[in-house]
Structure formats: structure tokens, C-alpha cells
Amino acid sequence: MLQITESQVRLGLSATDKAEAIRTAGRAMVDAGLIEPGYIDSMLGREAITSTYLGNGIAIPHGLPQARDLVRRTGVVVVQFPGGVDWGGEPARLVVGIAAKSDEHIAVLQRLTGVLGNPAEAARLGTTTDPRAVMAVLNGDATAPAVDAAAPLAGPSIAVTAPSPHGLHARPATALVEVAKRFRSQIAVRHGGGTSNAKSLVSLLRLGVSGGQPLTITAAGDDAEAALAAIRAAFEAGLDEPTVSETPPPPPPARAAPPTDLDYDGRVIAGISASPGVATGTAWKFQREELTVDETAPDPAVQHRRLDQALAGAAADLRNLHEEFWKKAGAAKAAIFKAHLELLDDPEMAADAHARIDDGKSAGWAWRAVYEERANTLAQLTDALLAGRAADLRDVGRRVLRLLADATESVAALPDHPVILLAEDLEPSDTAKLDPAMVLGLCTAGGGATSHTAIIARSLDIPAVVAAGPSLLDLENGREVIINGDDGVLVAGPSQRDRTRAATARVAVARRREAEHLERYKPAITTDGRRVEVAANLSDPEAAVKAVEAGAEGVGLMRTEFLFLQRDFPPGEEEQLEAYRIMVRAMNGLPIILRTLDIGGDKNVPYLRLPAEENPFLGVRGIRLCFEREDLFRTQLRAMLRASAEGPVRIMYPMIATPAELAKAKAITEEERRALGVAPVEIGIMVEVPSAVMMADRLAQEVSFFSIGTNDLTQYVLAMDRLHPVLAPQADGLHPAVLRMIERTVAGAKAAGVWVGACGGIAGDPAGAVLLAGLGLTELSVAIPSVPSVKARLRGISMAEAERTARDALTCADAAEVRALVRDRFPGGAA
């Protein structure tokens, strides 16, 4: 285990600013043989992107990932500045320089986060004259200070052992939080003299638990026993930590590096592609408003009320933003703000802030101290996805702080003309409010292509480049730049040749989109005369008109969940009928497939009272929930059947796994149809679980159509949660295993004379559309913006060649090989 020696601890130094402090720590790291001298510049570069101040007088400067080759060996040094060094408004007294080639430093950092929970301990280490005092804490020789001095819970307990090799670091701590939050009981984790809240990630990290150390977990509440049983099982399973005997999973597909042979005359600033597109314009550095708060306030009671009101107001703002963005960009993108609501609901943040108010602090000062401390801790975690949550937490924190600020200065503003926005990083709510007409593109010094900011930029069709480095911010406002989101670069001071190339690229894209738009109403008929219908996926009634305008030939999937979410009671029959009528009338005779309620334990719907499930994707969801709540199912069916009098309505059941489920759903539907006296409608099912594929020939005899839900089918076939932060990139619907399941489904349907469509993500994928058509699907339902391009793509291919390519794809080894195959066969943009 990594140990700090006395030569790596330097006490009683001074520095005029944090840059000098970082250089001092860097020189100590060079002297210790940890780094090459050039790594110091990378440490300064990291600080320019994001502060490494943790809180309580502690900072942990370290270099950027691309400078890792300048690290000689893993280690840390500790440099003490008793007088304090201004670290962006907070004094740092203990500066821990980190050089990391491996994970050996994690245990030291865990012990350091333990100090963060005890201001007195942090102050002692920041002023001690004995290097052994620092060594004792960071080497684990001293007992960790108590993280939470609250009285221990009274309830049943279990004894468990922290997973090896690294204990409760980011990944296993997150797994524990996810389990704990499924239960109502209070759950505490005790280690040595420290106690943490099992539902708070930062609290767990502060315990500083190393691998193999004993823990006591206590629960108090009506489901305490169930909670402890689930937690014990999670520990026995390793809390997501790989065991020695396990074969490491294949790494996620590597992100392509920015091209190294870019032919630009101007200065090229390379980053990572986050959203495609090319734009030319003037640069403008984004400045967020400066919020000022007084440190102290005379009346704690007033400050407590102010904080509670601000928290409630911020939560209301987030709910409104979620609803507005849900309408604009869909449920998946809006889920970002749902996650922000969860961050506000951290069980310790409000309590910590209120405690500081009791000590005489103002509500604003107390709240800012709390969220900044936690955000700084998250930002330093080695898990990149968890570290990325620091930006989200700061976004949430500032939303509350705006309601508590005593003064607001330098309010963020954009000029009155379109610009290319430059920023250190953008919080998700900043990006969501951008007007694409005024922002031609955005480029950030930090961030990542998987961040919420990047996702939103793509949904708004704004070219974006992230992780471009601190030199980006050296550009002055008004400087002409080109942003190329496809190549992941920003070009400053472009030449006329550069401008011409960028203009040519924009014109080519615009012409292609214009041609697709002009021909959007033409049917998708292949060059050898085979037709594939292209329909739209919808999530709200108003989108029906947009679908028709985009050239959709119907609605292949109408997600009816919008009627049931974000409310305290279920919709009645008349409310549903009106919504369905609006859509049917808007389609003006084109067919519309209404999917019955598809909700499970992964969604919070209070009136459904869904119990916490260990794996909601394998639990009561889709048609299973409809059977559990038959009253809701029958009400929805009546509204759908009544709407069928307005036009061609088809009804589709989700998550059908067995013929018995289909028979029961059809029987209930037929009872309601007869009671209403309406004409029969076409009935279909979603094919999204392997059992439905294996029983396709039998199921096809009872329905009019199949619609393959490729998103769910992929995760069930590959046993990979499509929302998992590590596995999601591998959960590719073009994997040959998934394609073989689709082939088998089509064969079963064809024997019964039933048509097959697809409504999952790969239907709108350039390669996916070709392969699905080649496998025999006659309908593809895609997102509205994709309708014209999918139709154009199918009009440009031969079905005979698509079928041959699909057959060859079934013999490939993985999705990457499939995509390469399609790219070679259809070089004109089908990959």
C-alpha cells in the first residue's frame, strides 16, 4: 500500500498565490522522483480548467490526463502553508500534490476525504509543526475522525467487510447508495469512530474505508430488515467491484481522437467532438453572474426560513424546467433535470446548511459552503462519470444560491448577434436555455462528450467541442473562429481558405437536408422497387402535426406515458380520449399505433405505489403493471377504442413475454370493445424480450403486427443495461446477436402473414435502417427529425444489396464489424 515518508511532507512554507503554491508542490514531486518537470505545467493547466480546492483548507492539485506519461511513479507529496494561500476565495493550508499512474493513491485520498468532515482536524494538520502528524493520518496510522457525531441509530445491524482492493471508493460507494435509497429506513454505516449516511455518496467517501476493513451497518424503520438483507447481498456480490477471479470486461469502445492531419491555416485548438456541425462566427466568452452573500446574519430563525424557501423554490424551478424541456427535446433529455432534483434531495445537504446557520452563518453563506465542499470532493474522484456530477451539483447549488444572494453582479449576457460561445464549462441549465439562433456553436475548456451539456447541445443541433483545454480561454471576444463539431476542433484566426472550406461543408450539409426536406413526402422505395414505410415515434399530442409535416407515413409508436407522469392522480377516460383524438385527427387518415401504458419501478409515479425493486427492468413493468392495475388498463383501452372512431387506430401491448399474457390482454380488450360497441381494431405487440422472439411463430398467430423495440431487446439479449454508464456504449443494437433475434422474429411473423416494424433507436441509425430493411422489416418508426433522412437513405439503396448485407452481418463477430461492413457496402452515408 502507498505510504508517505517524511521527505514527502514539507511544513511551514509560504506562497504569494496558488500558482506559486502549485509550483512549490510540483518541485517537491520532482524532488521525490514522482514526475518529470513538465508535469508542473499540466498541474497549472488543470487548475485553469477547474479548481482543485476540496474544502476546509485542503487542495489537491494534479495534472491533466494527457500528461500522464510525465508521471514517473504513483505517489503524493504534502506541502503546508500555515498562513494560507488564496485558492479562489478560500484559504488553502494543506496542498497535496498527486502523481497517478495507477490506483494506489486512492487509499490516501480516502483518508484525506475523512479529514474534510472534521474542520478541527483539518486546521490541526494545516498548522502542525510535526510531519509525523500528517503522515499518521494519510498513512492510516491514526484513527479517522468521526464524520458524523450524531447519535447512532437504534435498530438491527449487520457486520460486513469493505470490498477489496480499494474499499468504499467511488464505484462501490455508489452501488451502496443505490441500494440504500430503495428503502424508507434510515441507514448508517459505521467504521472506527466515524458514521456516515448510506444514502449520501459524499458522506460514504468521507469515511475513508480501505479494502478488507470491517463495517457495521444499522437500519431503523419499518423496512429495516429488508434493507439490511439487500445490503448484505450487495456486499456479498462485491458492490460492483471486480474480483480477482473475474475476467475484466472488455473496455468501452475507444473514442476517436481528433484528426492529426487537419489542414487548417489558422490556429487549431483540438478537443473532443460533442455535437456535429460546422459554423463560422465571432468568439464570445461566457461569464456567469457573480453571486455575493454575507457571511453572518443576526437572526437564525429568519435564515432557516430563507433556506427552506429557496430550496422549495429551486425544486419548483427544476420541475418547470423539466416539463418545458421535456416538451422541447423529449423525456430522455429532460431527465437531466430530474437528476438535478435528486441532487437537491441529498439527505445531508440541507441539514448541514441548517447547522451552519445555527452557528451564526447566513443562509446563503451556509448553503454555498455546503454545495461547494461536496462539489469539490466529487470533482476529484477518479471515476470520471462521478467526477462529472460536480458540474451538476454546482448547477443545482447556484440555482438555490440565486434565491439567497444579497447581491448579483456581472449577470451573464450574450451580445445581440450570433456568436460561438467559449466557456470553462457550461452547466446543463445554461446550455438548455441557449437560443440556437444566437449561438452558432459552443466550445468548452473542460467537460466531456458524455456530459449532460454535450447531450443537450446535440438535441439543440448546436455544433459543440469539449475538453479543448485552458488555452481556449486566451481567445478574446470578437475573434473570428471556426468550430468543427465533426472533427472536434476550433480554428482561431482562420485564413480565407479555411473559411471557404467551412462554408463548403456547411453548404453541403444544408443542400442535403434541403433535398431531403423537399422530397420528404415521397415514399421510401428502393432502387429495385421495394417499399418501406417510415413512421414517427411520438411522446405528446402536439408532435403529431410535426410528424406529418416531416413526411411521416403514420405513427409507429405513440408513447402514452406522458398522460400518467408528473401528476398526483391517474388521467380519466375523457382526458385520455381527448388527447388521442387530437393525435388521430392530426394524422388525417394515416395510421397511428397507441401503445398501452409502459411504466415500471424505474419511474416515480406516486399514485401507482410501485414497490422498490432490486431490478425494475426485470420486474413489474409494461403489460405486467397493466394486469396489476387492471382498472387503469381498462380505462385506457376504452379511451383508445373510442378514439378509433376518428381514424385508423392500432393498439399495441408492451413487454409481452408469453402467449398467456397476450391472451389475457386481448380478452380484456375485447370485453371493453364489446361493451362500447365499436368496430374491431388491429392488435399488435412489442417484441422486446427474448422469450417473445423464441415464441414469435406462436404469438404471430394472434396479432396483426409486431413492432420490435430494439432498445430493450438489445439490453435483454446482451444482459447490459442500456443506461449503465460503463456498459451502455457496448449495448449496440447492431450486435449480431440482436440482429439474429430480429431475423428469427421476422421468420416467425412471415409464416403467419404478419408484418414487422421497428420503433427502437437503430431504426433511425444510418446503418440500422439499411440492415432492418434487409432483414425483412416493412416499417421503421423513428424520431421526427430523422424521418426525411431515413426515407432518402432507403430511396438510395437496392433492397437486394441490403438483404445480402444483412445476411453477411449475421456472421460478424460484433457491432463494430457490422458497422464497418455497412460502411464499406454503402459508402454514401449509410454508416
Q: Is the distance from CB of 565 to CB of 607 less than 8 angstroms?
A: no
Cell numbers standing for residue 159: 457486520
Among 191, 452, 626, 735, the active-site one is 452
Please tell me which residue in 105, 354, 443, 759 is annotated as part of the active site.
759
DSSP reduced 3-state for 459: helix
Three-state DSSP at 169 gives coil
Active-site hit among 62, 105, 340, 735: 62
How would you classify the pairing of strands 439-444 and 464-466?
parallel
Active-site annotation holds for 626? no
Instruction: Encode pLDDT of 388-398 as tens digits.
Output: 566 677 778 88
Instruction: Kindly give, in sequence order, each residue whose CB lies less than 8 Å from that of residue 735, ignoring residues fewer than 6 positions away.
Output: 714, 717, 718, 814, 815, 818
Q: Is 296 within 8 Å of 360 (Cβ atoms)? A: yes
Name the 3-class secondary structure at 653: strand
Find the helix or strand (DSSP H, E) in which 686 lies. strand 682-687
Question: How does residue 828 score in pLDDT terms, banded at 50, 70 and 90?
Answer: low
**244-289 tens-digit pLDDT:** 333 333 333 333 334 444 678 898 988 776 777 889 999 998 866 6
Q: Are 710 and 679 in contact (CB under 8 A)?
A: no
Q: Out of 236-240, 490-494, 602-606, 745-749, which region has the weakest mean confidence (pLDDT)?
A: 602-606
Q: What is the mean pLDDT of residues 89-95?
A: 86
Q: Which of 16-20, 394-398, 800-804, 805-809 has the lowest mean pLDDT?
A: 394-398
pLDDT of residue 147: 41
Cβ neighbours of 783 (radius 10 Å): 18
d(CA 474, CA 744): 57
**Do 570 and 633 meet the contact criterion of CB atoms below 8 Å apart?**
no
Check residue 242 and give its pLDDT.
53
d(CA 644, CA 635): 15
pLDDT of residue 690: 96
Specify the DSSP class assigned to residue 780: E
Q: SS3 string of 391-444? A: HHHHHHHHHHHHCCCCEEECCCCCCCCCEEEEECCCCHHHHHCCCCCCEEEEEE
The β-bridge relationship of strands 555-559 and 682-687 is: unpaired
Residue by residue, DSSP assigns 693-720 as: HHTHHHHGGG-SEEEE-HHHHHHHHHT-
b/e for 162-197, b at 16 or more Cβ within 10 A? Answer: bbebbbbbbbbbbbbbebbbbbebbbbbbbbebbbb
Q: Which DSSP string do the residues of 68-115 spell out, in sequence order? A: GGGB-S-EEEEEEEEEEEESSSSEEEEEEEEE-SSSTTHHHHHHHHHH
| Cβ neighbours for 162, distance < 8 A, ≥ 6 positions apart | 168, 172, 191, 209, 210, 211, 212, 213, 214, 215
SS3 19: helix
Query: For 624-646, b where at least 16 C-beta lie within 10 A, e where not — what string?
Result: ebbeebeebbbbbbbbbbbbbeb
Q: What is the 3-state secondary structure (H, E, C) of 361-396?
A: ECHHHHHHHHHHHHHHHHHCCCCHHHHCHHHHHHHH
Model confidence at 166, pLDDT cuts 50, 70, 90, reads: low
pLDDT at site 686: 96
Q: Catalytic: 354? A: no
> For 176-186, what is each residue's pLDDT tens digit?
877 888 898 88
SS3 463: coil
- Residues in CB range of 761: below 8 A, 6 or more apart: 710, 711, 733, 768
Look up 452 and say whether it is catalytic. Answer: yes
More confident residue, 731 or 331: 731
> Residue 447 has what DSSP assignment?
-
pLDDT at 174 over 70: no
518-530 per-position pLDDT tens digit: 999 999 999 999 9
pLDDT in tens, 751-760: 999 999 999 7
DSSP symbol at 16 = S
d(CA 77, CA 79): 7
Instruction: Check if the beta carbon of residue 204 is closer than 8 Å to that of residue 234.
Output: no
The question of whether 340 is a catalytic residue gets the answer no
Q: Which residues pair with 414 in a beta bridge?
A: none
Q: What is the per-residue pLDDT for 107? A: 53
Question: Is the distance from CB of 190 to CB of 262 less than 8 angstroms?
Answer: no
| Contact between 684 and 666 (Cβ < 8 Å) | no
Strand order in the sheet with 53-55: 9-10, 75-86, 91-99, 58-59, 53-55
Least confident segment among 13-27, 31-45, 254-268, 284-298:
254-268
Cross-strand pairs, 55: 58
Cα 660 from chain centroid (whole Å): 37
| The C-alpha cell that represents 539 in the structure block | 411522446
Range with the poorest average pLDDT among 105-109, 265-269, 315-319, 776-780: 105-109
**What is the rounded end-to-end Cα distance, in angstroms, of the chain?**
48
| Model pLDDT, residue 246 | 37
Provide the whole-model pTM: 0.51
CB atoms within 10 A of CB 382: 15
